[in-house]
């Protein structure tokens, strides 16, 4: 009987439970799942301003995959650049609010970007992968954005709200051929103009000078 208990403990992470938190290298993590082993980044106290968020983190006998960035996890940390790993699926509300980000690399599997996630930074260009399904309000507000490149969104346009971009009325929207109405139906309205691009994999925003 004791052998069975030991095996079960090793499979689920002995002494570790969902919602437990731990700190490693300036990052604060919260366990969100034991099967599979997953964590969310919930805070940062490190000194580095240019971050590549670890895709995995070892704690005890377990190695967890980083699958989420929590609400306000990196708020007011004076960050200048961040690379989000491919394992991350969601980015929480105001996760990177009020930093100095001029460089952002979103992981290939991000599906949801929370309210105000990158609000009040120094971003001039953004690349959004085809997996992003929802960009919430104010997500990129108060950034000097020149270009937004959304890749592969010809099939399922990303949903945005009226205030996702604070300078929308100054942006020319370029959509894949035959997808204009689909974008309009998903909230891509209020731009200075809407143009069609014949390259189906690319949809481009460009701020006019």
> pLDDT band at residue 175, thresholds of 50, 70 and 90?
low
Q: How far is residue 183 from each of residues 175, 178, 196, 202, measured CA to CA in Å?
A: 8, 10, 11, 13
Please give the average per-residue pLDDT across 152-165, as a whole number.
61
Tell me which of 14 and 99 has the higher pLDDT: 99
Q: What is the reported pTM? A: 0.78
Provide the pLDDT for residue 144: 85
Q: CA-based Rg of the chain, rounded to a whole angstrom?
A: 19
Give residue-wise pLDDT tens across range 20-75.
999 999 999 999 999 999 999 999 999 999 999 999 999 999 999 999 999 999 99
Topology of domain 18-207 in CATH is 3.80.10
- State what percent of residues in the chain have pLDDT above 90: 52
Phi/psi-derived region of residue 146, left when phi > 0, alpha when psi is between -120 and 50, beta in every other case: alpha
Can you give the residue ranges of every domain in the chain?
18-207
């Amino acid at each position: 009987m004791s052998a069975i208990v030991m095996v079960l403990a090793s499979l689920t992470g002995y002494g570790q439970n969902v919602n437990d938190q731990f700190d490693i290298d300036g990052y604060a993590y919260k366990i969100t799942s034991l099967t599979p082993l997953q964590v969310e980044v919930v805070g940062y106290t490190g000194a580095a301003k240019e971050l590549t968020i670890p895709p995995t983190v070892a704690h005890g006998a377990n190695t967890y995959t980083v699958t989420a960035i929590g609400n306000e996890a990196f708020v007011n940390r004076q960050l200048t650049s961040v690379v989000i790993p491919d394992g991350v699926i969601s980015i929480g509300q105001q996760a990177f609010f009020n930093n100095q980000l001029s460089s952002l690399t979103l992981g290939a599997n991000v599906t949801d970007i929370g309210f105000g996630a990158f609000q009040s930074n120094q971003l001039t260009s953004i690349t959004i992968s085809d997996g992003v399904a929802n960009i919430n309000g104010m997500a990129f507000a108060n950034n000097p954005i020149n270009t937004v490149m959304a890749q592969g969104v010809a099939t399922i346009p990303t949903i945005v709200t009226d205030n996702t971009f604070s300078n929308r009325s100054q942006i020319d929207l370029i959509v894949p051929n035959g997808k204009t109405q689909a974008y309009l139906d998903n909230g891509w309205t209020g731009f200075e103009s809407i143009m069609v691009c014949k390259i189906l994999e690319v949809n481009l925003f460009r701020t006019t000078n």
